[in-house]
Structure formats: structure tokens, C-alpha cells
Structure 1
């Protein structure tokens, strides 16, 4: 089953704070050592552009955890195993993290280190192991800094990135919708790491996100009894992102599809989404289905991943804007201040040119707009889903913060109006002539 870094840290916290924890001091210090390993990597990669109290405190906490972790031989145990896996995931994703991501992870790891240090001191005589007391003091210092300079919602997305189960999820006896979502995210990462993420991949992910958000809107309306119309705007936003991408061409020839690549996993996710909410199902029919609550719960889990997918797509657009891998008709690109003579000539002649920098601003903006509307949709579905264990407690909390913050309703309404305006005014020789891949 797919999991997240936040789930691992939550599991570690639950064990460390249990009223009667079944843990040994060796297990506790083993966990603290792994947390120190994670913090060391985060501090080394950098939490701020320059030296700062945040940077120094995190580095000091990493050193304190490393020291405390050497007090007893590591014999393993549930705390050590959970912390070790969390540290491995943190190290594996370090290339994907910016400073805001690293700060979000540091704050969560510091909180867990504090709980582990408290447990260790409960297992020892009062004056023993002052190193654990130091860990607790520095962890509290990090938490205090976070109160005045909290992690951003976009930075905390890294905590809820799904990690697929080992091996090929398709080989599992029962592939879940969450497994498919995790495998899609992992396929995007692989393609980007190898420099093989194509426009076809981009459009397949956008199409899967569009279908997912439309289904989520339909099932939210069925669960709440509200009109589905406003909830379907998110799907239109993703559709607009797909249309905006058709202006560009990456010049890559069509080649056989990698069975473990982005496009097959996008299709697999869409198949699972449609199994939950068939295309021709209306809200009245959904309300009559016995398994509406279960379907809403599964859709809530995968809908929380839409902003994560948007984050990955934005990273791809940023890379294309730097590398100039995309081409477009000069007439279809945004106007420029002080347009160079060669671009003027290209516009007059209708030639294709290399797209760089600001040329991709519109594509970046429509993906960002879809991400914010997806955040609102995820919160609406979270509120409509009956209370129960959530695979994404942390992400749901962030969505609630984002959508209920001052001005959030106006911002989401502005995005919805912008989507409607763009959909009705977009000119479309490209959109008519080209189609989003068959994953739609």
C-alpha cells in the first residue's frame, strides 16, 4: 500500500507518545540516530539562502540527535524501523526539495525527535543521558521558530507525496486507486530525473487530473446535496491547462510507450477513478448507491494528490523555460516588451521559435490556477467525507487552512471566473487540430 512521509512520522509519534509504550532505550536511541541522519541532510542542503538562526538551530539539533543516537548499540525495533524509513525517504527526495520543502520536513522531524527524547528520558533515571535532554531543548527551539515562521502550504506538500509500494503495483493482487496515484507520481519523478518527461506525458497527467477533479466534484455534490456546477470548475481549469499546452511542441518523435511510464499510469489512474464514479453517472444516481460513503473516501484520498501533481507539472514547466526544449509559433506566444528584431520577424512570418522564460508564463499560470482550485475541491470533499481515518491528515489540515484563510474565497472565485473567461475566449486552431492523449 502506498504511504507518505507524514504517515511514517505520525506512526512514530503515536508509538513514542503511547501511555504504555513497548519500547527499549536502544530502540529509542536508534530512532533518534535516524532522525539525526535526516536532519543532517536537510541542514546540509540548506534551509535558508544565508546563515540564519533557523539554519543553525536545525544543524545543532541534527548534531545532538547524532550524538544521542550513539549512546546505546542499535538493536532495531519498531521506532528504529519507522525512523529509518522516514530518513531514507527524506534522503531519496532531497533532489526534489527546495528550501521551503526542507523547512517543512525539518519542523515535523524536530517534533518527532522531541517525542522520542521525552520517551527516552522516561525510560532512564532522572539524571541519566543529558544528551537526550539537549535533543528535546533544541527540538523545542525549532518548534518555536516555526511558530513565528511557519512552513508554507506549498512547502509542506512534500510531506504528503505518495510513495508506492515496492515492486510493480500492477502485480499486486488488488491495485487500489491510491496505489495508482502513487505510481503515477513516481513515474513523473523518474521521467523528470532522466530528462524524458515529454509534452505527451504532461498532457496525459493533466487529462487524468481533469477526470479526477470532475469525478470528485460529482461525488462531493452527491454527498452534500449541493449543486455540482461550481465544483466542476476545477475540471475546466485542468482542461484549460491541457489546451494551453497545445500551443507548444517538443519535437520528439512518437515512440513505443514505456509500460511503466507516465502515460500508462495516467490511464490506470483514470480507469480506477471511473470505477468509482462512472462517466455517465449523475449526482442523483450516486446518492442511491450503497457505497457512496466508501467511494467518497477513496476519491478524497486521490483528490488530495492533485496539488502534488500540479507541483510536479510546474517543476516541468520551469525546467522547459530554462532549457528551451519547447517550440511554438511566434504568433501564439505572449507579447514581449522591447521585442527583439528576430522575434518580430518570426511573428510576421509565422515561424516557430524556441520558447524560453516568459514564453511559458501562461502555461505556468493555468497549472497554478488548477492547483489552487484543486485545493478548494479537496477541502470540500474532505468536509463531505464521513469522519474516519485519513491517509492524508496533514494535507487535509493544510487545505482547511488555505481555503479558510482571509481572502481565500475571493481568490478561488477569481480563479473560477478566470477559468470561465479563458474557456469562452480561447482561440483554437491548435486546440481543434490536436487532442490530448488517449488517457483523457
Structure 2
């Protein structure tokens, strides 16, 4: 089952606030030792550019947790296991986290450390372990700083990145949509690390995002009772992004499909979503379906991962604009100021040229539009409240803050209007029809 850093920290906090009679000081200090390891790594990577209260307090809290963690020999236990897994995930994500992400993670880890230290104070007399009091004081300081300098909404995304259990083609038909979503994001990350993400991979991921968005839009409309049209715009936005990519070619043939690659994972995700909600093809059918809550429960957390997926796709386009890995007919690229003579000649004869920089601006804009519309769709899904408490508490709060921020509704409306214009203009003789199959 896929899990997230936030779920691990929430599980740790729940166990610390509702302890069993068998809770031991060795298990408590073991958990603090792991949390201290995570905080120390975050502080070393940098919470702020220079010396600041955030930077100093994070480093001090990490040191205090490590000190408390050495009070007793480690014997393991549920608290230690949860904290250890959380610390491992923080370490795994160090290469993708910026300062804002590290601050968001610090705030959540500090809260978990506070609860663990509080539990330790119940198990031991106060005078027996003053180190626990130090942890609590510093954790409260982090909380106070966070109230004045809260983490940004986008920074919380790192807490909700899914980590999937390994799966193979043999059990792909039984893979849940949530696990398939995590597998797809993981496959894209692997391809990006080796700079091997192909245009075929990109289109497969975009097509999977379109299928998710269409299903989520239909479910949201049925749950809220509102007109389905606005909710389905997100799916159209992803369709436009897929069509915009057909201008380009990376020179790589179809080739065999890697069972753990992006295309295979996108197919598995699309099949899982269709299996869960595909039989309900429109909002009207959903409204009459008695199984709407269970359908929504399976689609909702996957919808919450769309912004994470979209950020990877945006980063891929940015990378291509720098490396020039894509090619396109010069006639299909946007005009540039002071066009070089060789580009002018390429336009005249219809020659393919290397696409760099501004040549990919339109593709990037379509992905960014789809990303912001996905954020709005996820917020609408959560507010529909058809599936009970959201699976990702912090992600839901993030969407509420983002969508209710000043100017966001107007920006989303402009994006929706831009999507409509793109749909009307994107079709041209040189482009092949866009098919929503993730095998593209």
C-alpha cells in the first residue's frame, strides 16, 4: 500500500498521544533519535539562506532529539519503527527539497517530536530526563516561529508524495489506483534522474492525468450536484497539453515497453481508474449510483497527486528547453524576435530544427494551466465531502488555501478560457489526432 511522509508522522503522533500501556522509554527515545537524525539533515541542507531563528532552532532541536535518543539503548517498537521510516523518507527526498520544503517538513517533524517527548515525560519523572523537557521547549519554539513564518502552501506537497510498494506486471491488474499513482510518479523520478524521460513517457503521463481529471470531474459534479462543465475543464486542459506535445519529436522510436517504466505505470494507473470509476461515464450515471462514496474514496487521493505529477512534467519541459533534446518543424514553432537567417531558411523550406528556450513556451504554458486547474479540481473534490475524512489532511488544507487566495479564482477562470481558445486553435494539418490512451 502506498504511503506518505505525512501519514507516517500522523501515525507516530497518534500513537504518542494515545499510548498503549506497553509504551516503553526505550521505544520513545528510539523515535526521538530518528527524528533528530531527520532534523539534523534538514538543518545541514539549510532551512534559510543564512543564519536565522528558523535555521538555529531546527539545528538545536535536532541536537536535542539526538541527545534524548541516547538516554536508553534502542530496543525497537512501533514508535521507533514509524520515526525511522519517516527519517528515511526525509533522507530519500533530500535531493528534491528546497528550503521551503525543508521548513514545511521541519514543522511537522517538530510536532511529532513534541508528542513523543511529552509521552516520555508521562513514563518518567520530570527530574529523571530533563533532555525531554529541552526537546519540548525547542519544538514549541519551532511552532511559534511557524505561526509567524508559516510554510508556503506548495511546500507541503513534499509531505504528501506517495511512496509505492514494488509491483510487477503479474499483479498490475490488482494494483490500486493510489499505488499506481505512486508508481507512476516514482517512474518519472527515475527517468528524470538519469535524464532519460522520453516524449513518449511524457505523453503517457499526460494521458493518465487526463483520465484521472475526467473521472474526478464527473465524481465531483455528482457529489456536489453542480453542473459538470466546469469540473471537466481540467481534463480538457490535459488534453490540450498532450496535443501541444505532438508538435515535437525526440527521435526515439516506440521500442519495447519497460515493465517498471513510465508508459507501463501510466497504463496501469489508467486501467485502475477506469476499473474503479470508468463504468460511470457521466455525472448523471454517478448521481444514480449507490456506490458513489466508494468510487469517490478511490479517486480522491489520486486526484490529490495530480499537482505532484504535473510539477514533474513541468520540470521535464524546462529541462528539454535547456538541453535541446526535442525537434520540430520550424514552421510549427512560435516566431522569435531577430530570427536568425538559418531559422528563416528552415521556416521557408519546412525543415526540422532543434527546439530550445522559448520554442517550448507554449507547451510549458499548457502544462502549467493544467496544473493550476488540477489544484482547483482537487479542492472542489475535497469540499464535496463524499468520501468522509480526506486521506491526505494537509494536502486538502493546502488546496483550500491555494484556491481561496486572492486572485486565484480569476486566474483559474482565465486559464479555463485559455484552454477553450487552445482547443479551437491547436488543431492544424501537421498534428496527429490526440488520443487519450496512455500508450502515446
* Counterpart contact for 2:175–2:272, Cα < 8 Å: no
Give unpaired runs (5+ residues) of structure 1: none
Write the distance in 2 (CA, Å) between the matches of 1:142 and 1:124: 24
Give unpaired runs (5+ residues) of structure 2: none
* Counterpart contact for 2:297–2:387, Cα < 8 Å: no
Partner of 1:412: 412
Which segment is superposed worse, 160-169 or 268-277? 160-169
* Counterpart contact for 2:222–2:283, Cα < 8 Å: yes
* Counterpart contact for 1:321–1:355, Cα < 8 Å: yes
Partner of 2:297: 297
Q: Shift of the alpha carbon at 1:363?
A: 1.9
Change (3 A) 1:119 1:170: farther
* Counterpart contact for 1:246–1:430, Cα < 8 Å: no
* Counterpart contact for 2:172–2:268, Cα < 8 Å: no
> What do residues 206-237 of structure 1 show as CA deviations (whole Å, max 9, x unaligned)?
00110110111111112222211111100011
Change (3 A) 1:340 1:57: farther
* Counterpart contact for 1:169–1:183, Cα < 8 Å: no
Which segment is superposed worse, 8-17 or 50-59? 50-59
> What do residues 34-93 of structure 1 show as CA deviations (whole Å, max 9, x unaligned)?
111111222222223334332222222222222221111111111100000011111112
Query: What TM-score, normalized by structure 1, do the two folds share?
Result: 0.93
1:360 aligns with 2:360: yes
Change (3 A) 1:174 1:337: same
* Counterpart contact for 1:33–1:70, Cα < 8 Å: yes
Write the distance in 1 (CA, Å) between the matches of 2:240 and 2:434: 14
Q: Find the residue that maps to 2:237 and give its secondary structure.
A: helix
Q: Find the residue that maps to 2:196 and give its secondary structure.
A: coil
* Counterpart contact for 1:240–1:423, Cα < 8 Å: yes
Write the distance in 2 (CA, Å) between the matches of 1:100 and 1:334: 35
Q: Shift of the alpha carbon at 1:188?
A: 1.3
Write the distance in 1 (CA, Å) between the matches of 2:171 and 2:277: 24
Partner of 1:81: 81
> What do residues 266-316 of structure 1 show as CA deviations (whole Å, max 9, x unaligned)?
111111211223267232222222211110111112111111110111121
Change (3 A) 1:307 1:73: same
Partner of 2:398: 398
Write the distance in 2 (CA, Å) between the matches of 1:56 and 1:430: 58
Which segment is superposed worse, 331-340 or 394-403? 331-340
> What do residues 229-260 of structure 1 show as CA deviations (whole Å, max 9, x unaligned)?
11110001101111111122112233111111
Alignment of 1:298-337 (within 5 A): 298-337=298-337
1:119 aligns with 2:115: no
Partner of 1:14: 14
Which segment is superposed worse, 107-116 or 137-146? 137-146
Change (3 A) 1:55 1:219: same
Please tell me the root mean square deviation across aligned C-alpha atoms, in Å. Answer: 2.2
Q: Shift of the alpha carbon at 1:413?
A: 1.1
Change (3 A) 1:351 1:144: farther
1:194 aligns with 2:194: yes
Q: Find the residue that maps to 1:432 and give its secondary structure.
A: coil
Query: What TM-score, normalized by structure 2, do the two folds share?
Result: 0.93
Partner of 2:99: 99
Partner of 1:216: 216
Partner of 1:60: 60
1:232 aligns with 2:232: yes
* Counterpart contact for 2:293–2:387, Cα < 8 Å: no
Change (3 A) 1:89 1:224: same
Partner of 2:205: 205
Alignment of 1:141-220 (within 5 A): 141-168=141-168, 171=171, 174-220=174-220
Change (3 A) 1:53 1:353: farther
Change (3 A) 1:24 1:124: same
Write the distance in 2 (CA, Å) between the matches of 1:243 and 1:308: 21
Write the distance in 2 (CA, Å) between the matches of 1:401 and 1:266: 29
Q: Find the residue that maps to 1:165 and give its secondary structure.
A: coil
Q: Find the residue that maps to 1:327 and give its secondary structure.
A: strand
Change (3 A) 1:349 1:174: closer
Write the distance in 2 (CA, Å) between the matches of 1:75 and 1:368: 48
Partner of 2:424: 424
Change (3 A) 1:239 1:167: closer
> What do residues 100-130 of structure 1 show as CA deviations (whole Å, max 9, x unaligned)?
2222212211111122122222222122322
Q: Shift of the alpha carbon at 1:330?
A: 3.0
Partner of 1:50: 50
Write the distance in 2 (CA, Å) between the matches of 1:51 and 1:430: 55
Write the distance in 2 (CA, Å) between the matches of 1:91 and 1:220: 36
